[in-house]
Structure 1
Amino acid sequence: MYCLSWFSEGSKLIFLGLFALILAISPISILAQNPILNSTEKAPIVVDGRVLFEVGSISNFSAQQRASIINDILAEEVRSPDPVDVVIFDENQRTVIRNQATKRHLLTVTSADVIAGSNTFEQALVWKKYLERSLQQAQLQRTSEYLRQFSLLSIAAILGAILGHGGLILLRIWGERNWLRSWSHPSSPLYTWQGIVRPLWRIFIIGTPLILWLTAIGYIGYLLPQARSALYQILMFLGQPIFVLGKNSYSATQLLLLLSLTVGLWFLVKGLVRFLKSYLLERLETSQSVQDVVGILTQYILLFLGLIILLQLWGLDIGALAILASVLGVGIGFGLQNIANNFISGLIITLERPIQVGDFIKLGELVGTVKNIGARSTQIKTWDGISIIVPNSRFLESEVINWSYGDKTSAIRIPISVAYGSDLKRVKLALLQTAKEHPEILVVPRPTVLFQQFGDSALNFELRVWLKEPRNQFRIKSELNYAIDKNFRDYGIEIPFPQRDLNLRSPHLKPLIENILTSTEMIDKQPLEIPDFEEEPELESLEDLLTDRDLERLVHEMRSPQGLDIQNRRYRLHLYPNCFIGSEAVNWLVQRYKYTREEAVEVGQILMEKGIICHVLDQHPFQDSYLFYRFFQDDK
């Protein structure tokens, strides 16, 4: 189901990208035919937002000026109550088109307007048909009869959209109750394809009502001539050039088109990267950090190539960007040096993996858990819940302590000072007892007590214990300090204060002190009563308790049919024959011999030290985790 969720997310992004590209590309053919946007030699003649034909320029007037004059005359003809009677006649060797009913001159056909292979009269005959039909239709659409017809058609379009939308709602409810449930069943032929089918279904349910209402609104607007004219004016405004780059001028419409294509490209690339990570990289069993770096590099490369192609299709000369690229290169070398350094450091961290998400690390004064490794920075969450954003370059320039790198087992060192004259055996016994009583201290490696040095005022010891989870070291260290203080009080062991001897030399003080000593009775202080503890022996280990005969019997039971599950196992495309899992061996020892889990781990470590079992790669001691071990006699 995890892959299916990735498949679903990737499908959504890919379909969104394709949808945006289709929406962006769909107006290209219309915009290409729009002379306002693409032609500078001819200009369109428009009636109620419909382009009839194009006129060229003459000696005294440009094409735009001619078109503006003709469009104003045609607008007056549309508002005129007189009928339309378009005729053609020659006037001073010029072909003229006129409305005979209003005696108004409409336009003159010149050689600049003629299509190759025809003359002005033939061109006038074609335009006469366009003008006559368009003017008659425009006058008809302004009558009261047409307005009543328009109202009825608009109501019908709205009712049709409402009915269609309601039908789609019923279809969605019925489909979710029947189709989606059947697709989720493993026996369904569409089960393996539901990552594609479900996004398609959602796009259909969401997109179809939108298209339905847009169609209804567009149809109503198309019936109304004023709406068509307003839409054409908006397109003319957006089609006006707003800046010039090189030899080409670009309008707001073209900028919106480029923006839409870029958004579609972004969604498409994101979807492809998700597919790459969820299907190819996960099946190769690569780590999450490698998936992230491959995904980031693939995304940047595809986006870069896609933008280059879009800019070329947009008509921008890529060669003209060479100067801009040079300027950006200088900017990266100076102003953006730190950003580039952090980005490259992020790639190195992801590839070499000195730190990974979830690791417990110390960087300078920062101690916390790595939450996210980005392209430029890494997020660390400290023990007090504060998220700190650290530039990636700091991990390569500074020393980093990573307690989670490789084997998570780590040691805690607790310095302790006791007074001169303390019983050293009692000190060692009290410290070892403190370590044994704490449930999170590992039995293997063993806790140790080290006599460090003879201090100025105390004997300095160090208690060294081992933990399974390094992130708990601060809490465990505090608990051990509390326990040490309690045990020292019980054993009568004194933790000394710093001591200094003060020598006073004065002839006046000596007689005074002698008088005080002779006139005052000295009271002997009673010595401190210390509980009479019996001499407790050193903590006896399992290694001392288990004899060779016990180990031989234990190995026989472990290899018996009722013992461990010894079989060939596969991990990351590698086959390891005749091995068992460390955590399963610990469970078996706990159930069979009633050991604690720590004692079971110690028994496993004893078997490794005796040369009876080993790690399949000789890389780990015996641990209560998903690691493979085998008996030496099965190691070929």
Structure 2
Amino acid sequence: MHLNWVLVASKMLNVVSKMLPRLPLLRDVACYVSTFWRFILLALLTLLLTLNPVPTFAQTSPTNRNDKAPVVLDGRVLLQVRSLNNNFTAENRVRQINEALAQAVQSPNPVRIEVNQEEGRTTILSQPGSRHLLTVTDGDLLPEFTAYRQARIWQDILERALVQAQFERSPVYVRQALGFVFGAILIAIAIHLALLFLGKWASHRLRVWLGQPTSSFHAWEDPAQFMVRLARLGLQGGLWLAIAYYVTDLFPASRIWRYELFDFIAKVFDILNAPVISLGTSKYSALELLLLLGLTIGLWFAVSSLTKLFKSYVLAHTGAEPRLQEVITILTQYILTFLGFIVLLQIWGLDVGSLTILASVLGVGIGFGVQNIANNFISGIIITFERPIQIGDFVKVGELLGTVERIGARSTEICTLDQVTIIVPNSRFLETEVINWSHGNPISRLRIPVGVAYGSDIDKVQSALLEAVKNHPEVLLQPPPQVWFQGFGESSLDFDLLVWTGEPKKQFKVKSDLNYRIEACMRHHRIEIPFPQRDLHLRSPQLEEIFNLLLYRDAPTPSPRSIEPTNGDQSNHTSISQPQDSLTVATEISGSLSKTITPAKTLTETELEALVAAMRGADGVEIKDRRDRGNLYPQCFIGAEAVEWLAQRIQGSRQEAISIGQMLIDSGIIHHVVDDYPFQDDYSFYRFYREL
């Protein structure tokens, strides 16, 4: 028999060796190990193994573990014995019996089992040596069995187990078992390859049948391919598990390890199966709760798949809008999940009414922790019913700008113009301002500001701007484009070009295209687009004298002259007799002029604070909210009014008042409401920085 196995194995090895060069076996094995679904299959098999213990340790159930104990030889359960009393438990009896059987197996001579009846006791002995194995008690008897009959049955079981154990340790059996192992592995490899070929063939046929986009069952291709792969992996995994069980069952040592492993799993199963939670009159173990959690997750995936099929094969043929289909799909999924969970609890034997107390206790504890999640979830329901935003809308939320891709229970996905998907909590759409260009009528108006130089022909400007938007594919003809003259700026005449577009998400590209066209049209019509300009006007009675002195310095022949001081003192004057002294005189006159124009530099800090306090007082400048070009500027004053008030306050000129206002800007007391502009005597708005 051993020779036949060797011949069969050698032939199969030759066949496999011829097939290996044409098969990417190593690649398939690597894929088998690395594929994610292998781990799922292993987890499912482990769960099934835990929930359904194998017969080798099934006899040690939780109810009988303390009352019964198995007699085991080489990993095989032979019989079970009960406790004699509280001092001598079943585990103690089994420990002695197993030790005696292990010593008997190691004997080189055949072992015989005898039944001895004396003094009303029935004992089982091993020969030679008459070693005591066990005493049959009333608790060990089966119904309607006598002690002697029970002992005779156990005698037969023990004798056959000892003979088998001694044979399995012989060299002949070891060689025969190795042949079985080799043959089983070769057969498993052949079946594995056959399943691999069968799975590829099935995948190819499914691709031929369902891969055509015109096929009515094209949407079933991916689920069908997944089921084929899952079935193939399940068969291959079950095959190797069966081979592993068969191989470990051939050798005593591996069988003992397997039994210890299963016994450990059984103990873990007992711990997990112990009741830990009481709901009403029922008690539930951790294992039952884990199984309930697994069934709930399975229910969620099942409902998701069912709703997708409902959307693809029912709603898609109704002709409804995609947004409405999405709303119906989400509501259907939520309702089916809730109903399925209630039914699952009822089938599980859990009284739903008993959950009210638990829900109230847990609700108070976790309410604060999940308030944001609950807020987003309720916001998602409100968005689903009110539909302020829908899938495909082009929206702006804060700084985020993009298209709504998906509206979920807790969050919404927005795809930006940079093709970046951003997940936004649903509560932001209800708590902040949201710009939805697609809501209602998607047609929106674009405003493009344009400034031209003073002196430009405004009719030509209007014609040039309308020419720029003419024939643009994204600009609507109705309503027609318009050019509005907004006002007179500091350096330009301000116009607004108003156009309408039906594609809100393309507004930035449209603005860019129109700016290119506007620049080309302005250059074609020679219309100047100005840059900011400032005109400086100097007014001083001594400016002419300074200019004459500078001219005199550059003259070839010096001539003496005198310059009277600015304060009117006729006795103090400076005579210029040499050309090199003219620069000194000009410098002195310039310095005196500076002191005359900017007397604010002579103000002390106390005087400046008093001036600011008076300026902000009841008799000071008028400070109120002001509006210009549609913009509101709160709590500001006008520069011209401040100059007039300062001039009256210091009893000086308006130029001196302007210098004081500039000093207030340089000191960080006031500022221009728009930008960092100097203090001016015009209709400009200024505001105080801080409270005094």
Taking structure 2 as the reference length, the TM-score comes to 0.61
Q: Aligned equivalents of 1:162 and 1:115: distance in 2?
A: 46
Q: Partner amino acid for 1:99?
A: S
Give the C-alpha shift of residue 74 in structure 1.
2.4
Partner residue in 2 for 1:442? 476
CA RMSD, Structure 1 to Structure 2 (Å): 4.4
Which of residues 496, 503, 512 in structure 2 aligns to 1:469?
503
Give the C-alpha shift of residue 401 in structure 1.
0.8
Which of residues 72, 83, 95 in structure 2 aligns to 1:46?
72
Q: Aligned equivalents of 2:173 and 2:308: distance in 1?
A: 55
1:45 counterpart SS class: strand
1:53 and 1:127 in contact (8 A); partners too:
yes
Q: Aligned equivalents of 1:188 and 1:481: distance in 2?
A: 49
User: 2:414 aligned with 1:380, yes or no?
Assistant: yes
Partner residue in 1 for 2:170? 143
Q: Which runs of 5+ in 2 are unaligned?
A: 1-35, 551-692
Which of residues 335, 339, 353 in structure 1 aligns to 2:369?
335
1:139 counterpart SS class: helix
Partner residue in 2 for 1:414? 448
Q: Aligned equivalents of 1:82 and 1:498: distance in 2?
A: 116
Greater length-normalized contact order (CA 8 Å, ≥ 6 residues apart): 1
1:369 and 1:380 in contact (8 A); partners too:
yes
Q: Aligned equivalents of 1:187 and 1:511: distance in 2?
A: 97
Give the C-alpha shift of residue 88 in structure 1.
2.2
The 5 Å alignment of 1:451-490 reads 451-453=485-487, 459-490=493-524
Deviations 1:551-603 (A, max 9, x none): xxxxxxxxxxxxxxxxxxxxxxxxxxxxxxxxxxxxxxxxxxxxxxxxxxxxx
1:379 and 1:388 in contact (8 A); partners too:
yes
Structure 1 residues 270 and 504: alpha-carbon distance in aligned structure 2, compared to 1, 3 A threshold: closer
Structure 1 residues 508 and 384: alpha-carbon distance in aligned structure 2, compared to 1, 3 A threshold: same
Q: Aligned equivalents of 1:18 and 1:272: distance in 2?
A: 23
Q: Partner amino acid for 1:216?
A: I
Q: Aligned equivalents of 2:125 and 2:152: distance in 1?
A: 12
Give the C-alpha shift of residue 154 in structure 1.
1.4
Partner residue in 2 for 1:222? 249
The 5 Å alignment of 1:80-119 reads 80-119=107-146
Q: Aligned equivalents of 2:465 and 2:216: distance in 1?
A: 67
Structure 1 residues 416 and 198: alpha-carbon distance in aligned structure 2, compared to 1, 3 A threshold: closer
Give the C-alpha shift of residue 226 in structure 1.
1.9
Partner residue in 1 for 2:331? 294
Give the C-alpha shift of residue 105 in structure 1.
1.3
Q: Aligned equivalents of 2:42 and 2:339: distance in 1?
A: 18
Which of residues 74, 95, 98 in structure 2 aligns to 1:71?
98
User: 2:152 aligned with 1:125, yes or no?
Assistant: yes
User: 2:53 aligned with 1:30, yes or no?
Assistant: yes
Deviations 1:6-34 (A, max 9, x none): xxxxxxx99x9999878745764536972
2:53 and 2:266 in contact (8 A); partners too:
no
Structure 1 residues 152 and 341: alpha-carbon distance in aligned structure 2, compared to 1, 3 A threshold: same
Structure 1 residues 114 and 283: alpha-carbon distance in aligned structure 2, compared to 1, 3 A threshold: farther
Q: Aligned equivalents of 1:340 and 1:392: distance in 2?
A: 10
Q: Partner amino acid for 1:43?
A: A
User: 2:231 aligned with 1:208, yes or no?
Assistant: no
Q: Aligned equivalents of 1:331 and 1:106: distance in 2?
A: 60
Give the C-alpha shift of residue 343 in structure 1.
2.1
1:367 and 1:382 in contact (8 A); partners too:
yes
1:17 and 1:266 in contact (8 A); partners too:
no
Give the C-alpha shift of residue 397 in structure 1.
0.8
Which of residues 183, 188, 204 in structure 2 aligns to 1:156?
183
Bigger Cα displacement from structure 2, 317-326 vs 378-387: 317-326
Q: Aligned equivalents of 1:249 and 1:35: distance in 2?
A: 23
Partner residue in 1 for 2:17? none
Bigger Cα displacement from structure 2, 429-438 vs 363-372: 363-372
Partner residue in 2 for 1:348? 382
1:357 and 1:370 in contact (8 A); partners too:
yes
Give the C-alpha shift of residue 412 in structure 1.
0.3
Bigger Cα displacement from structure 2, 175-184 vs 104-113: 175-184
Bigger Cα displacement from structure 2, 333-342 vs 405-414: 405-414
Give the C-alpha shift of residue 201 in structure 1.
4.0
Give the C-alpha shift of residue 442 in structure 1.
1.9
Q: Aligned equivalents of 1:189 and 1:388: distance in 2?
A: 35
Give the C-alpha shift of residue 227 in structure 1.
1.8
2:446 and 2:507 in contact (8 A); partners too:
yes
Q: Aligned equivalents of 1:384 and 1:197: distance in 2?
A: 36
Q: Partner amino acid for 1:435?
A: V
Give the C-alpha shift of residue 58 in structure 1.
2.3
1:409 and 1:467 in contact (8 A); partners too:
yes
2:277 and 2:285 in contact (8 A); partners too:
no
Q: Aligned equivalents of 1:165 and 1:18: distance in 2?
A: 16
1:416 and 1:460 in contact (8 A); partners too:
yes
Q: How many residues align?
A: 500
1:99 counterpart SS class: strand
Q: Aligned equivalents of 2:528 and 2:425: distance in 1?
A: 48
Q: Partner amino acid for 1:137?
A: Q
Q: Aligned equivalents of 2:277 and 2:504: distance in 1?
A: 63
1:17 and 1:267 in contact (8 A); partners too:
no
User: 2:273 aligned with 1:239, yes or no?
Assistant: no
1:95 and 1:120 in contact (8 A); partners too:
yes
Give the C-alpha shift of residue 338 in structure 1.
0.8
Partner residue in 2 for 1:279? 313
Q: Partner amino acid for 1:442?
A: L
* Percent sequence identity over aligned pairs: 46
Q: Aligned equivalents of 1:249 and 1:408: distance in 2?
A: 57
